Amino acid sequence: MRFGQWIGLLALVISLYILWQIRQVVLVVFAAVVLATILNRLVAIFQRYRIKRGIAIAITVVLLLAIITGFFAVIVPRLVEQLQELVNLLPAVSARLRSWYGWIQTQIPGQVLENIPGFETLAQQLQAWVAQLLGNFFVLLNNSLAALVSLLLFLVVTIMLLANPAQYRRIFILAFPAFYRRRVDEILSECETSLVGWIRGTLLAMIVIAVVSFIGLSVLGVPLPFVNAALAGLLEFIPNVGPVLSVVPPMLLALLDAPWKAGAVLLLYIAIQQFESLVLVPLIMKQEVDLMPVFTILAVVVFASFFGFLGLFLAIPLLIVTQICLREVLVKDVLNKWQRQDSSTAENGKPNP
């Protein structure tokens, strides 16, 4: 390698190291870019009605803040209230589990029970897990200032990008060689279309899952149907993993009434997820974005491992952008051209000039 190539390689390594050290800030900026891209479509809709862009941006930002304020003012208090009810129900759950364990002891031979962990052991493990969860919760509260700063950075960057997206897009495109800039612009447009389609489909799926879960849990008479339905809708944002986690709280609450209710809740959530997988998601996402289930699971695990909560929250947008870049850059612009060059060489008997 020449001296200039070594310098370029060193600069690339240093850049990657710096990006890794500030990865949380980079993810916040990426989240702001995603939100600004989505809100820009809403601004464009307002502009179709001859509303000036500045006024359209103001209306969009006000709507966004109104939604956030409404969520915290209406939804969060009810969630907190029902979560408090859930905490108050934990002793009853413990007592019910003790009574069931005592009944099981009378039905199962003692030789079999010797190989099964006792209720006291399970209760101690559950208590330790709850204590650890509460400890992490208080740590989260102590770090609320950092979270607030990140949220403010997120909102400020989003508004700045929304104010003049064309300028920032042009600056990003200028970072590439002149011959490839038009191609970068095309790739960015495809990323924008896919991200907007994904968030539109995801929000609709979240609402449908929350409503159906609320109706089903209310019919079954499971305690706290609202908080469990809201949890199911919110966890729908995390594909594959979120729906599995959402079934645990309502099943535990159903155990307070009768074992058959826990089984009914499990069957209800299985039916909802089958409806989501076979009908809802294909219908909504048919024209939006195509993501293979295996890749979505791996994306959730990998990005959560590397980037924590933000990586978990942004796993699918990151996967969408990564998938488009790999397909357009690596496959179409690199590998496909190599294939055409090989076939041209084979036909002409000499390398293609």
> pLDDT at position 299, please?
82
Over residues 100-142, the pLDDT tens digits come to 666 666 665 554 444 545 445 555 555 555 555 555 555 545 5
| 298's tokens | 């791996």
Cα 350 → chain centroid: 51
Q: What phi and psi, each to the nearest 5 degrees, are found at residue 138?
A: -70, -35
Q: Is the pLDDT assigned to residue 307 strictly greater than 70?
A: yes
- What proportion of the chain, given as a percentage, has pLDDT over 70? 70
Q: Is the pLDDT assigned to residue 169 strictly greater than 60?
A: yes
Highest mean predicted confidence (pLDDT) among 141-145, 198-202, 238-242, 318-322: 318-322
- What proportion of the chain, given as a percentage, has pLDDT over 90? 7
Q: Confirm whether pTM is higher than 0.85.
A: no
Mean pLDDT for 156-165 is 88
Q: Is the pLDDT assigned to residue 94 strictly greater than 80?
A: no
Q: Are the CB atoms for 300 and 252 separated by under 8 Å?
A: no
| 153's tokens | 């950075």
CA–CA separation, 193 vs 38, rounded Å? 9
Over residues 207-242, the pLDDT tens digits come to 889 999 999 988 888 877 887 888 888 888 877 677
Mean pLDDT for 5-34 is 84
Over residues 344-353, the pLDDT tens digits come to 544 555 554 4
CA–CA separation, 313 vs 311, rounded Å? 5
Query: What is the b/e burial string over 272-282, where b = at least 16 CB atoms within 10 angstroms of the residue's CB?
Result: bbeebeeebbe
> pLDDT at position 258, please?
73
| 81's tokens | 């209230």
Q: Are the CB atoms for 303 and 321 separated by under 8 Å?
A: no
Q: Are the CB atoms for 273 and 239 separated by under 8 Å?
A: no
> pLDDT at position 119, please?
47
CA–CA separation, 78 vs 169, rounded Å? 41
Task: Map out the domains of the chain as residue ranges.
Answer: 22-106+113-175
> pLDDT at position 215, please?
92
Q: Is the pLDDT assigned to residue 185 strictly greater than 90?
A: yes
**CA angle centred on 89, ends 84 and 95, rounded to 5°:** 155
Which of 17-26, 111-120, 261-270 is least confident? Answer: 111-120
> pLDDT at position 128, please?
59
Mean pLDDT for 25-31 is 89
CA–CA separation, 248 vs 240, rounded Å? 14
